[in-house]
Amino acid sequence: MRIAFHAPMKPPDHPVPSGDRLMARLLMQAMRLAGHTVFLASRFRGFAKTPEDFQARQAEGEAEAARIAAEWQAGPMPDLFFCYHTYFKAPDYLGPPLAETFGIPYVTAEASYTLSRDAGSWAGAQAVVRRGLQQAALNLCFTGRDREGLLSVVGAERLAMLPPFIDTSLFTSSAVGSIPPRLVTVAMMRVGDKLDSYRLLASALVSCTDLPWRLAIVGDGPCRDEVREMFSAIDPARLEWLGEKQPEEVPAILAASDIYVWPGFGEAFGLAYLEAQAAGLPVVAMATAGVPEVVRDGETGLLTPHGDVAALAAAIRTLLHDAVRRQSLGAAARRFVLGERSLEKAAATLKILLARFEP
């Protein structure tokens, strides 16, 4: 099929790196691997920072949909419209009207819906999301939490699971470990959940300074100075500030480490966790948000209660003390991701799920 792809939150070629951008690219790659022709319908961003921005984005979106419709009338039209990550702050203004105009199926992936947004300042944007979900012939859910949210407005017959996945081809070798053990984290330095996770990690590591370890931090961003200050109580000799790295550089950094540590406030699921496990690292994180969807507690890592600094520190200490266990968890983590969360596995799933729409 010829598939029109749209990501209202952030287009796949957006200049700012993020898990959202990466997942959009991976979905396009997986559908191509499944035998489809995929093209970017538009780079339009429907994202609104505040409820006041909503009406402006909606008007711009309607104009963009009209422009695309005229373009498609004059040229080849798609067989299906695929939208990635629509939610109340980033409704899809393009897919539903275009799919209706041209009589083609509309499919979403990783859509999010919370009933609490039906009232209040975001109600208008929420209504746009709801109409799109109810129009969709299929809504692909990455997590059980997302599925539960969609069930409040969509029948189960139009829902299917597509677990988060990564391109495992870059992860050609498994972690070999180091002395002293090297902890590693990969995360942008920005306000909100990321900053909260850095703060909790720093607090947990302060209580582990009686043990030998070092920490490699991959990431950069506007909160760089604040993050560095959070770790000021830790001997600088223990810390490696590696800055932002290209995606192809990260696997080698992970493979030269022993434990992946990242609390995970607000993580929808966290592709970085899958990448770490693909490199053969056990994960220490919180059992919060979508993290349990990508890390198996006690099997591929250790998950701790939300916001519990002492528990996070204890989990890190457990793996620092027990090299055999961290290697066992790491080996299981690599098997899990390579066997169940690969690009090829996702492509096979998408091939089956989208076959019903082939002309």
pLDDT value for 162: 96
Q: CA separation (Å) from 241 to 38, 184, 246, 265, 273?
A: 38, 10, 15, 21, 19
Can you say whether the dihedral through the CA atoms of 186, 169, 356, 97 is positive or negative?
positive
Per-domain boundaries in the chain: 2-165+343-357, 168-340
For 95-138, give the DSSP string: HHHHHHHHT--EEEES----GGGGSSTTHHHHHHHHHHHHH-SE
CA dist 147 and 287 (Å) reads: 18
pTM, whole model, 2 decimals?
A: 0.90
Tell how strand 80-84 and strand 106-109 pair up: parallel
Rounded Cα gap, residues 350 and 348, in angstroms: 5
Q: Which CATH class is domain 168-340?
A: alpha beta
121-139 pLDDT, tens digit per residue, is 999 999 999 999 999 999 9
Phi-psi region of 284 (alpha: psi -120 to 50; beta: other; left: phi over 0): beta
Q: Do domains 2-165+343-357 and 168-340 have the same CATH topology?
A: yes
pLDDT of residue 312: 98
Fold adopted by 2-165+343-357: Rossmann fold (3.40.50)
Mark the ranges of the chain whose per-residue pLDDT is less than 70.
none
Q: Look at residue 20 in the predicted model and tell me its pLDDT.
A: 84
Helix (H, G, I), strand (E, B) or coil at 89: coil
